[in-house]
């Protein structure tokens, strides 16, 4: 028998190989399909096992068409009684035109008339037409003056497996998703135990198709209705045998243990659809989906290296395209930062958007998603030391002011040295944000911090004795070094100038046009940071060891967080099972930020309270006791929200004494500040057991600057 198997444009070579593996012979590749031959059993194997085919057509007649009557005669001469009965309904799909048939509806009508007349001339009643659910569907293609009339063996597209009954706004067809996975060599990776992740999974098509491949489950087993069972050429016994074997293969696949297959999306409705589709495919135990934004994507230790594949939105209007540029850049930053060794596949109908990822693709494959030309762009996520840029990318758009001078090269060398020194520590640190440089070379006075793939650069104000122009040149050299080491452009760096704060200046806003937030990870906690809009980011990195210590010591206890800022220590305490937390700050901005941190970590308000108050007033009025207190005041503040002026050197004794009044007998007060000239008045506090734990609260990323803060553990004598 002769067959023609159609597929989306761009995957013909993949379909060729698939049909060959299924036993097809005399294969010939054309645009949008493969012509081949084989026994009837080949057709049954294709409809059960093909992951790539759209339609399986059995050609019944071919004819040269110069006028409409030629089409009529070609259709009328086919022995239709060999294929179906007059009592069956049928429909005709027609594609193509020529001079005499310039309308597809007219072409379909001439074929219908010919078939109806065939049955009438044979003495039967005319068969009925059913465009929606016919017993038989015929396919007629008119191309270059030749019409091919075929039986559509399945009566519809094979991409419609049957498990996906719910979908998002722009769903990807199942066979196209399978083709993309094949282009990324997913079957081999799955056999080797590699993972599959879709960070914007929508209705979960990549995930489900990937699981079917990994489990070797035939995609046709989900269909419940096969129109060819009404076809007079159908071999019921042979079909039953092959169908039962496919069902056995399905059950065997469900018993297999698969590698991690995971999907994430920030839209709960489409996640529900994805989960329902996965359940219908009986893959609930093999595919997991979760509510997560792209910014929250992190690689877990239990996920072996594999592939990340996604079909991000690519916009149709100018405003949408502009908004999506940041999404593509964020995807690049997140995957480069946390998925070293993986392969990223981005399927897009707007390849220009992928330029904003600032990565060099290792492969590009052209596809069609319907009529839309698309590309699958693959990226090897190399370690930063091994990564290479597209030719000229490092300097193509960089302003000349940021050129790589000898000084910039020195800073770049130091950054690379520091990063290498921190490599082993980071594997154990359980965080994705840390300090990489802190005025290591005094003439280059700045701090460089890494926040989950984003870079935060703070310039320390130069002394008045330093020439302003010289200071500017040195800062530009730091920027050039950061761009060179991290393969970014200056506009990707959050740059700030740090000076002595006065009053409300600590709340001053900076660049309001930039993306405001991203999520970072520290221990069990997920935390919001803002790199562009405030002087501080919402997370004091140097206090990481103290926060983790508090997490260990507050299980089942009552925790008070004074001058709480964004309440990150309270988040740690709550996640560790604190009986109660109270976070006090006089900034509504930071308390709102703290609430977002609570929400991000699903921390309820019944036992964890945020209080808007001056800490002095709160301490005066407080009448409850706490097991652990964190006291971390600013060095100096004359905010209008306070009745007086806070000077930590002058006021620390009064603050500590009042905290000790409400500290439970076996409790602990942690007192910290970042005033470099600070001297603890031990004489005034001699009735307390005081231990300087500053060295214990300095992590390896701050080991070059041990004076970043002072920290004391204070207890009552037994």
CA angle (579, 584, 589) in 5-degree steps: 120
- The CATH number of 393-499 is 3.30.750.80
Q: List the single range of 222-226, 316-320, 510-514 with lowest mean pLDDT.
A: 510-514
Range scoring the smallest mean pLDDT among 58-72, 100-114, 157-171, 703-717: 157-171
Q: pLDDT category, 269, cuts 50, 70, 90?
A: confident
Residue 316: its pLDDT value, please? 56
pLDDT digits (tens, 9 = 90+) for 544-580: 999 999 999 999 999 999 999 999 999 999 999 999 9
> Which residues belong to CATH 3.40.50.150 in the chain?
174-216+254-380, 518-716
Q: For the domain bounded by 2-152, which CATH number is listed?
A: 3.30.2130.30
User: What is the predicted pLDDT for the residue at 493?
Assistant: 87
Strands (E), 311-427: 343-348, 363-369, 372-380
Taken in order 674, 680, 685, 688, is the CA torsion positive or negative? Answer: positive
pLDDT at residue 525, as a whole number:
94
- 683 token code pair: 């004489």
All CATH 3.30.2130.30 domain ranges in the chain, comma separated: 2-152
- The Cα–Cα gap between 254 and 256 comes to 6
- Taking alpha carbons only, the member of 235, 223, 239, 228 closest to residue 88 is 228
518-716: CATH superfamily: Vaccinia Virus protein VP39 (3.40.50.150)
Collapsed DSSP state (helix, strand, coil) of residue 571: helix
> Do 127 and 90 contact (CB within 8 A), yes or no?
yes
Check: CB of residue 691 under 8 Å from CB of residue 669. no
What would the two tokens of residue 716 be? 């009552």
Tokens read off for 404: 């790589």
pTM: 0.62
Return the CATH number of the domain spanning residue range 174-216+254-380: 3.40.50.150
Which helix (H) or strand (E) segment holds residue 436: the answer is: strand 433-438
| Confidence label for 498 from pLDDT (cuts 50, 70 and 90) | low
pLDDT score of 582 more than 60:
yes
For 373-393, the pLDDT digits (tens) are 899 999 999 754 444 333 333
DSSP string, 110-179: HHHHHHHHHHHHTT-PPPPB-SSS-SEEEEEEEETTEEEEEEESSSS-TT--SS-----SSPPPHHHHHH
As a whole number of angstroms, the distance between CA 596 and CA 590 comes to 10
Separation CA 309–CA 241 (nearest Å): 36
Question: In the chain, where does the domain assigned CATH 3.30.750.80 lie?
Answer: 393-499
Compute the distance between CA of residue 603 and CA of residue 608 in angstroms, rounded to an integer.
7
């Amino acid at each position: 028998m002769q067959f023609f198997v159609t597929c989306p444009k761009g995957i013909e070579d993949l379909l060729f190989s698939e049909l060959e593996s299924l036993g097809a012979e005399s294969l010939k590749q054309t645009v949008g399909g493969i012509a081949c031959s084989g026994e009837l059993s080949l057709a049954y194997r294709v409809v059960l096992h093909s992951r790539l085919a759209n339609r399986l057509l059995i050609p019944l007649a071919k004819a040269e068409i110069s006028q409409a009557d030629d089409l009529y005669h070609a259709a009328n001469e086919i022995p239709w009684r060999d294929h179906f009965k007059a009592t069956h309904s049928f429909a005709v799909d027609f594609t193509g035109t020529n001079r005499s048939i310039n309308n597809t509806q007219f072409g379909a009508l001439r074929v219908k008339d010919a078939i109806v007349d065939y049955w009438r001339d044979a003495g039967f009643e005319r068969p009925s037409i059913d465009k929606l659910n016919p017993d038989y569907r015929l396919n007629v293609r008119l191309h270059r003056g030749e019409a091919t009339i075929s039986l559509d063996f399945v009566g519809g597209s094979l991409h419609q497996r049957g498990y996906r009954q719910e979908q998002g706004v722009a769903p990807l067809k199942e066979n196209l998703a399978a083709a993309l996975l094949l282009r990324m060599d997913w079957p081999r990776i799955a056999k080797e135990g590699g993972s599959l992740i879709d960070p914007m999974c929508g209705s979960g098509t990549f995930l489900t198709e990937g699981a079917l491949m990994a489990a070797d489950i035939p995609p046709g087993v989900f269909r419940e209705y096969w129109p060819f069972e009404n076809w007079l050429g159908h071999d019921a016994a042979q079909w039953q045998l092959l169908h039962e074997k496919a069902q056995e293969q399905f059950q065997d696949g469900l018993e297999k243990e698969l590698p991690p297959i995971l999907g994430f999306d920030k839209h709960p409705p489409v996640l529900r659809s994805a989960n329902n589709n996965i359940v219908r495919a009986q893959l609930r135990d093999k595919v997991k989906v979760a509510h997560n934004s792209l910014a929250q994507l992190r690689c877990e230790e239990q996920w072996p290296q594999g592939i990340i594949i996604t079909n991000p939105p690519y916009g149709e209007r100018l405003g949408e395209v502009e908004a999506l540029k940041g999404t593509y850049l964020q995807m690049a930053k997140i995957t480069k930062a946390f998925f070293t060794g993986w392969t990223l596949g981005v399927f897009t109908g707007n390849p220009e958007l992928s330029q904003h990822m600032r990565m060099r693709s290792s492969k590009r494959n052209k596809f069609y998603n319907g009529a839309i030309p698309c590309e699958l762009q693959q990226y090897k996520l190399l370690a930063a030391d091994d990564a290479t840029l597209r030719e000229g990318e490092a300097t193509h758009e960089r302003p000349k002011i940021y050129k790589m001078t000898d000084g910039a090269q020195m800073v770049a060398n130091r950054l690379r040295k520091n990063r290498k020194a921190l490599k082993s520590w980071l594997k154990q640190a359980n965080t994705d944000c840390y300090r990489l440089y802190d005025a290591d070379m005094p003439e280059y006075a700045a701090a460089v911090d890494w926040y989950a793939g984003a870079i935060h650069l703070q310039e320390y104000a130069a002394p008045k004795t330093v020439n302003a122009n010289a200071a500017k040149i040195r800062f530009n050299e730091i920027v050039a070094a950061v761009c060179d080491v991290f393969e970014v452009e200056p506009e990707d760096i959050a740059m700030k100038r740090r000076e002595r704060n006065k009053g409300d200046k600590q709340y001053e806003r900076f660049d309001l046009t930039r993306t405001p937030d991203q999520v970072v990870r520290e221990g069990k906690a997920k935390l919001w940071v803002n790199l562009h809009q405030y002087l501080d980011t919402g997370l004091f990195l140097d206090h990481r060891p103290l926060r983790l210590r508090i997490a260990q010591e507050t299980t089942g206890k009552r925790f008070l967080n004074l001058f709480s800022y964004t309440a990150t220590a309270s988040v740690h305490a709550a996640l560790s099972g604190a009986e109660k937390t109270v976070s006090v700050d006089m900034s509504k901005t930071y308390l709102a930020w703290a609430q977002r941190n609570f929400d991000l970590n699903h921390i309820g308000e019944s036992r964890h309270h945020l209080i808007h108050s001056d800490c002095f007033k709160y301490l005066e009025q407080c009448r409850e006791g706490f097991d652990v207190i964190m006291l971390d005041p600013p060095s100096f503040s004359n905010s209008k929200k306070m009745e007086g002026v806070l000077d930590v050197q002058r006021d620390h004794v009064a603050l500590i004494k009042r905290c000790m009044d409400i500290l439970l007998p076996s409790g602990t007060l942690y007192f910290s500040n970042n005033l470099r000239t600070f001297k603890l008045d031990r004489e005034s506090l001699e009735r307390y057991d005081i231990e300087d734990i500053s060295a214990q609260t300095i992590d390896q990323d701050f080991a070059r600057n041990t004076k970043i803060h002072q920290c004391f553990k204070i207890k009552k004598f037994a």
